Amino acid sequence: MPRRVTIEPVGREVDCGDDQTILDACLRAGVWLPHACTHGTCGTCKARIVAGEVDHGEASPFALMDFERDEGMALLCSAIPLGDVVVEADVEAEPGVELFAVEDRVGRVVAVEEPGRDIRRLRIALDRPLRFNAGQYVSLKLPGSDETRSYSLANPPSVGSELELHVKRTPGGKASDGWIFSRLAVGDSIELAGPFGRFFLRPQRSEPVLMVAGGTGLAPLMSMIRHILDVGLPQTVCLYHGARSRADLYDADRLADLADKHPGRLRYVPCLSEEAWDGRRGLVTEVIAEDFSRCAGHVAYVCGPPPMVDATLKVLMERRLFPRDIYREDFYDESDKANGAVRSPLLRR
C-alpha cells in the first residue's frame, strides 16, 4: 500500500511505494529535491522528518551521524517511509532551468569501446528517448539484482535516443569488474533510470566557462561542451583534463579535434602528473595555478575523484572564484560508504 509523503514547506504530496525511497518517489513525480550520489554516501539529500518514521536503509554512518538520526534527520535517497511521513526539505528551482522527472528506460548495448586504460565507453540505444540536462547521470540496474550504479551521460541532450557512458574499472567492483568489464557485450539489454543529479550546465550563465576533469569525470563535461557547441550558446570553454599517464588520458584526439573545429570557443588543456610528454606536466591543479592568477569572472564545473575535486576548489577559491560560481560532481564508489568520504556542503551542485 502506498505511503503518502508530504513535502514542506510547499505542501506537495507524493505517493511512495513499499520499497521505494523518498527521493526516488519525489523525483519521479517531478518534485526536485537536492541530491547527488543517490546511494547514501554524500549527504546532499539530508532532510528532516517532521512527522512519521522511516527505515534509513544503507545510509552511510558518516553521511548521517547517529545523533542526526536521533534528531529526526534522514538521507532521502536511502530513507523508506514506514507509514505516512512529512518531510521538511528544500524544493529546488532555478530561473531558466527546466527539470525533468525521472523515468525508467530499457536500452540495448550497441557499442563497447576501450578509449583508455581500464576505461570503457558504452553506447546504449534506448527504447524511448530520454530528456535530461547536459551533465546529469543515469542509474543502471545490475543484472539479477536490485542494486544500481550511476554513470554520467557524455552525450548531449540533443542525442537522447543513444546514451554514451564512460566507466572506470574499480578492482573488485560489482558493476565494473563483475559486469561491464567481464561480460557485458553488444546486444545485451540494460535497465536504467534517469535523469538524476544537480550537476548540469547552467545555460543562463554567460560567463566564460572553466571546466576541470579528473579521469572519467570528463563524461559530464563532454556532454556540456557538446551541448554548448551544438546549440551555439555564447559561452567560451576552457577544459583541463588531468590523468597520470598517456594510457589514462582518453579522448585526447577527439577533444583536440573539437577544439580545432571551434577556435576561440573551446580550449583543451590535457596534463599528465606521472609521465613525461610533449604536453603540460603536473597535477591539474598545478597547471591551473600556472595559467590563472585570478579566476574571477568565470563559472567553473569540476568533476572527478573527491580529493582532486577538493584540491581544485581550493585553487579556484584562492584565485577569487567564489562558491556561488563553482559547480562540482564527486565520483564516489561503494568504498566511500566505509571510509566516510563526504562532499563539502559549502559549494553548489
Distances (CA, A) of 117 to 28, 54, 155, 251: 36, 43, 21, 11
Q: Write out the CATH class of domain 103-196.
A: mainly beta
Dihedral of CA atoms 169, 172, 173, 175 in degrees, nearest 10, equals 90
**pLDDT tens across 66-101, in order?**
999 999 999 999 999 999 999 999 887 777 788 999
Q: What is the pLDDT of residue 332?
A: 66
Is CATH 3.10.20.30 correct for 3-88? yes
Q: Structural domain boundaries of the chain? A: 3-88, 103-196, 209-339
Residues of the chain under the 50 pLDDT cut:
337, 342-349
User: Is the distance from CB of 138 to CB of 130 less than 8 angstroms?
Assistant: yes
Q: What is the pLDDT of residue 1?
A: 74
CATH among 3.40.50.80, 3.40.50.720, 3.40.50.2300, 3.40.50.1370 for 209-339: 3.40.50.80
CA proximity to 90, closest of 199, 198, 195, 15: 198
Q: What is the pLDDT of residue 348?
A: 32
Q: 0.75 cut: is pTM over it?
A: yes
Hey, what amino acid is at 168?
K
